[in-house]
Structure 1
Amino acid sequence: MLELIKAGGWVMWPILLCSVIALAIIVERFWSLQRKRTAPRNLVNQIWQWARDGELDAERVKELRRNSPLGRILAAGLVNRRHEREVMKEAIEEVGRHVAHELERFLNALGTIASISPLLGLLGTVLGMIKVFTVITSEGVGDASVLASGIAEALITTAAGLIVAIPTLLFYRYFRGRVDELVITMEQDALKLVEALCGQRERDTGN
């Protein structure tokens, strides 16, 4: 591996750095975007159970806010559960925008790495070919070892850039889809909670 890095020239170092950063982001996002960590199943049902049992107090709301992004969104609605439906929805939407932004954390960096890695490989290719033509111009085609060194530099950096860019782009697309899926799930759960609480309040008022 070290020999390949040396053969590829200095451009291999930023490509290698990109690969390390991309790997770190991929591992972190896999951990952070787990369904159980972001949008636990049956959380709305649990909240509804607390409400029916008279256990939905300030401490429960704080616990929800701490435990998951979905909990933060639902807590915003619960804090305003005594207000009108539109007030609850506005509070949920405001927190939801912040949560969605946090779920997308590091994804722009991942997309940037997917874009620049092949460009770095192309830069290495250009530098390698410049080296080859410089040798040909000054010494002719007699020194095959120097020519081979330049060609190897060109090919290695191109391959390395693509090796980093292809999986990085795949994971970038995957995480983008994952975030969209989680955001939709959170919106649906938040609307269920709003309708349940407002419906209960309207029934209580009617009685």
Structure 2
Amino acid sequence: MLEMVKSGGWLMVPLLLASVLALAIILERAWTLRSRRVAPPDLLADVWTQLQAGELKGEALRNLQAGSPLGALLAAGLVNARHGREMTKEAIENAATPVVHELERYLSLLGTIALISPLLGLLGTVVGIIDAFLVVTAGGIGDPTALAGGISKALVTTASGIAVAIPAMIMHRYYLRHIQTLTVSMEQQAVKLVDMLHGDREVDVREVDA
């Protein structure tokens, strides 16, 4: 493996850095975007129970806001509930913007890595072919080893660029779709809360998080 990396030349350095960065982002987002962390399934029922008991004030409300992205939306709705249905919905929508932005953190960088890695590999291909032609120009094809060095550089960098780009692109698309699913789920929970606060929904705690 080390010999393969060396044969790819200096362009393997940015490709290796890109692969390490992509892996770090993929693992970090896998941990951060867990469904139970972003939108705990029992959170709305717990919030409603605490609200009915008069316990959702002050510190409890701040804990709700900081506890999860869904909690931040529900807290925004609760804080503005006394201003009417439309103001409650508007407050939730305003709170959703930074929440979704945080969920999408690092994904632009992951997408960029997926796009530039094949280009770095292509650049390595060009550089390798140029090296091979320089060998031929300088001494003909009498030294196959020297000629093979340029060809090896071209092939290794191309393969490395594609190998970095494929998982980065797959995970980038997956996380974008996953965030859309989480966003829809949080919106549904927030709408339920608005309906319950303003008397548009009959409340059954057993079905609150259904």
The answer for the alignment partner of 2:115 in structure 1 is 115
User: Aligned partners of 1:90 and 1:42: how far apart in 2?
Assistant: 24
Any idea what SS the aligned residue of 1:55 has?
coil
In structure 2, what residue type is equivalent to 1:108?
S
User: Aligned partners of 1:59 and 1:122: how far apart in 2?
Assistant: 56
User: Aligned partners of 1:56 and 1:107: how far apart in 2?
Assistant: 35
- The farther-off stretch of 55-64 and 84-93 is 55-64
User: Aligned partners of 2:108 and 2:30: how far apart in 1?
Assistant: 15
1:198 aligns with 2:192: no
* Shift in Å, 1:18: 0.1
In structure 1, what residue type is equivalent to 2:145?
S
User: Aligned partners of 1:192 and 1:60: how far apart in 2?
Assistant: 20
The answer for the alignment partner of 1:203 in structure 2 is none
In structure 1, what residue type is equivalent to 2:15?
I
The answer for the alignment partner of 2:81 in structure 1 is 81
* Shift in Å, 1:138: 1.7
Any idea what SS the aligned residue of 1:199 has?
coil
User: Aligned partners of 1:191 and 1:59: how far apart in 2?
Assistant: 24
1:177 aligns with 2:169: no
User: Aligned partners of 1:56 and 1:161: how far apart in 2?
Assistant: 52
Identity of aligned residues (%): 55
* Shift in Å, 1:105: 0.1
The answer for the alignment partner of 1:23 in structure 2 is 23
User: Aligned partners of 1:60 and 1:86: how far apart in 2?
Assistant: 24
Write the deviation string for residues 103-125 of structure 1: whole angstroms up to 9, x where unpaired: 00000000000000011000000
The answer for the alignment partner of 2:134 in structure 1 is 134
* Shift in Å, 1:17: 0.2
User: Aligned partners of 1:37 and 1:47: how far apart in 2?
Assistant: 16
Write the deviation string for residues 6-35 of structure 1: whole angstroms up to 9, x where unpaired: 100000010000000000000000000001
* Shift in Å, 1:36: 1.5
- Structure 1 unmatched runs, 5+: 201-207
In structure 1, what residue type is equivalent to 2:17?
L
In structure 1, what residue type is equivalent to 2:131?
K
* Shift in Å, 1:101: 0.4
What is the TM-score of this pair, normalised by structure 1? 0.94
User: Aligned partners of 1:63 and 1:36: how far apart in 2?
Assistant: 17
Write the deviation string for residues 143-166 of structure 1: whole angstroms up to 9, x where unpaired: 100110010000000000111110
The answer for the alignment partner of 1:6 in structure 2 is 6
Any idea what SS the aligned residue of 2:199 has?
helix
| Displaced runs of 4 or more, over 6 A | none
Matches within 5 A, 1:37-116: 37-116=37-116
In structure 1, what residue type is equivalent to 2:181?
E
